[in-house]
Amino acid sequence: MKTFSAAQRNRNIHRMKTESFDLAIIGGGITGAGTSRDATSRGMKVALVEASDFASGTSSRSSKLIHGGIRYLENLEFGLVFEALSERKILFEIAPHLVHPLKFVIPIYKNSKVGMFKMGLGMWLYDVLSMFDAPETHEAINEGDALKRFPLLQSSGLVGAYGYYDAYMDDDRLTIETHRSAFNNGAVSANYVKVVDVIYENSKVVALICKDLIQGDVFQIQAKHFVSSVGPWTDIFGREVLKNWNTVLRPTKGIHLTFDRKRLPLKEAIVMLDDAKNRIVFGIPRHEMIIIGTTDTDYPGNPSDVHTDKLDVEYLLSMIAEYFPGANITEQDIIASYSGVRPLVYDGSATEGKTSREHKIWSDPRNITFVAGGKYTTYRHMAEQIVDFVLEAFPIEERARFAHPNTKKALNEKASHDNFQRALQQTEEWSRAFKKPEAEVRLLAERHGLEALDLLEKSKSENYRSHWQVEAYQAISNAMCLNLDDFYLRRSPLFLSLKDHGDSLLNDIVEVFVKELGWSDSQIKEQIDRLENHKKTEMCWR
């Protein structure tokens, strides 16, 4: 059976070297993954390369929300909100193991810029734009009920609250599952392959020159057309690889902090309004942790160097103190931080916050289609627009042949809407059959749908001792996971959610990597150092 495994990566690179493609995509975040899935669903032959790990750029550093964007209502960006809410509905359907409904509550205070009445109108509009298709329509909450639901909430000046539905997700796994789905359609993709140059013929790019950052060799990918989906690296790619380049981005940095659920016990997500900065900060409860974020500050640096600063941490702690003064949250309570760069397109706005979140697709005469900006939530639709745009570079017969995308089906058939429900219903039976605690089996079913059964069988045959060992196996064999940090940061929530960042699980997890990838002692040390280096760089504020 074809698996999207670490071993498959070598076979894919061999094909990149020896075949030619309709489309070659540069960048394997959610935009590249979505484009690859869309193009292959139309029958195009696609190659995709990612310079680091899949989703290691912005796509694992988001607020992890699939949302209409209540904030955009204020800017009257109704089209953006409608599109996002329509896509939210599709994602619930095609990725139920990755996208989960979540209730959000916005407390309103006497001095809030938007009072109860105006916020109520916004809530109605949000329901209308979602065609009343959220798990529930919005609710008005009185002051007393708001305090019952959030006992630690600032009570002084509170006049009431509104509740509405959106969704949270596993951003990294959504990207990787999208790559996997594209691979099942025929995409030939590889992580840790960087585009370092291009080959021109008659001023048009005809091939990419790529460096395999694992094996070290340099090779070419020939294609009829190229897509750049390098997100916040767009200007760097333009300047360094294409040379003649005018700056297009206004990148901004956003950081998040994670907390133990017991330390900041939120049962529903909270929307904290920073009226002075005209910003929103979310408090998001997930099954493994609480996430607080985000910030939005200009970031002119290289996205590869982004990390959280002391000022970012102080700002988010001050928002928590304002809304939950009784919780006494301090720096010591923070488990981890993460930071990302928004690939926003420069539009002349006065501030970061006012810069549009809309994506932009444009064609470059050098035979490359560029895309930048946008939101996770709308990636599927955005990918469809990108490929439609790309097809304009193709002859009419091929345009007709590749005209119809097919991306509204499950990302993973074993986690289709029905199979996901089936898996959840079978957890008790599997728990008995495999003599495993039901909570552990349920977690597997929630993360993998019916694929959990294959994993339980594997766990039994390999005598795995812990849930995270079987997850490590799944990451290596079905999610092209090559490194320990790929696993800790982008295939599991261990780094972000555990007080010790998952150090106590290290031996168990390394054991699986050694078995599957044949690591030597020196490789194990190198891998642990990589993970430690990430911690030192990202959490240098501590």
Q: Does 375 bind ligand FAD (CB under 6 A)?
A: yes
57 is an interface residue for ligand FAD by CB under 6 A: yes
Question: Does 254 sit near ligand FAD (CB under 6 A)?
Answer: yes
Q: Which stretch binds ligand FAD (CB under 6 A): 158-166, 226-234, 269-277, 519-527?
A: 226-234
Asked if 505 interacts with ligand FAD (CB under 6 A), we say no
Q: Smallest gap, in angstroms, from Cβ of residue 287 to ligand FAD?
A: 17
The residues in 418-477 that bind ligand FAD, with binding defined as CB under 6 A, are: none
Which residues have C-beta within 8 Å of that of residue 230, sequence separation ≥ 6?
A: 26, 27, 57, 236, 237
Listed in sequence order, the DSSP H helices in 283-416 are 310-323, 379-391, 396-401
Interface with ligand FAD includes 230 (CB under 6 A)? Answer: yes
DSSP 4: -
Q: Per CB under 6 A, does 50 bind ligand FAD?
A: yes
Whole-Å CA distances, 372 to 32, 45, 477: 11, 23, 31
Per CB under 6 A, does 65 bind ligand FAD?
yes
> Do residues 22 and 391 lie in contact, with contact meaning Cβ atoms separated by under 8 Å?
no
Please tell me whether residue 418 adopts helix, strand or coil conformation. helix
For the bound state, the minimum distance from the C-beta of residue 147 to ligand FAD, rounded and expressed in Å, comes to 27
In whole angstroms, give the CA distance from residue 62 to residue 296: 12
From residue 413, how far is each of 299, 417, 420 by CA, in Å? Answer: 40, 9, 9
d(CA 24, CA 36): 9
Contact pattern from residue 325 through residue 364 relative to ligand FAD, giving x for each residue in contact according to CB under 6 A and a dash for the rest: ---------------xxxx---------------------
Least distance in Å: CB of 444 to ligand FAD? 25
Q: How many CA atoms lie within 13 A of 112 on its CB side?
A: 24
Q: Between residues 29 and 107, which has the closer beta carbon with respect to ligand FAD?
A: 29
49 binds ligand FAD (CB under 6 A): yes
Please report whether residue 238 would count as binding ligand FAD according to CB under 6 A.
Answer: no
* Site stretch for ligand FAD (CB under 6 A), options 109-117, 313-321, 375-383, 390-398: 375-383
Sorted by sequence, the CB contacts under 8 Å of residue 137 that are 6+ apart come out as 127, 164
Q: How many Cβ atoms are within 10 Å of 350's Cβ, its own excluded?
A: 7
Radius of gyration of the chain (CA): 23
Smaller CB separation from ligand FAD, 419 or 483: 483
Interactions with ligand FAD, residue window 77-106 (CB under 6 A): none
Q: Which of 357, 21, 63 is nearest to 190 (CA)?
A: 21
- Please give the distance of CA 216 from its chain centroid, rounded to a whole number: 28
Inter-residue contact 475 to 487 (CB < 8 Å): yes
235 is an interface residue for ligand FAD by CB under 6 A = no
Q: Which of 63, 178, 419, 527 binds ligand FAD (CB under 6 A)?
A: 63
| Count of residues engaged in binding ligand FAD, rule: CB under 6 A | 39
Which of 252, 416 has the CB closer to ligand FAD? 252
**The only residue of 195, 390, 472, 531 in contact with ligand FAD, by rule CB under 6 A:** 195
- Binding residues vs ligand FAD (CB under 6 A): 26-32, 49-52, 56-59, 61-65, 67, 194-195, 229-233, 237, 254, 294, 340-343, 374-377
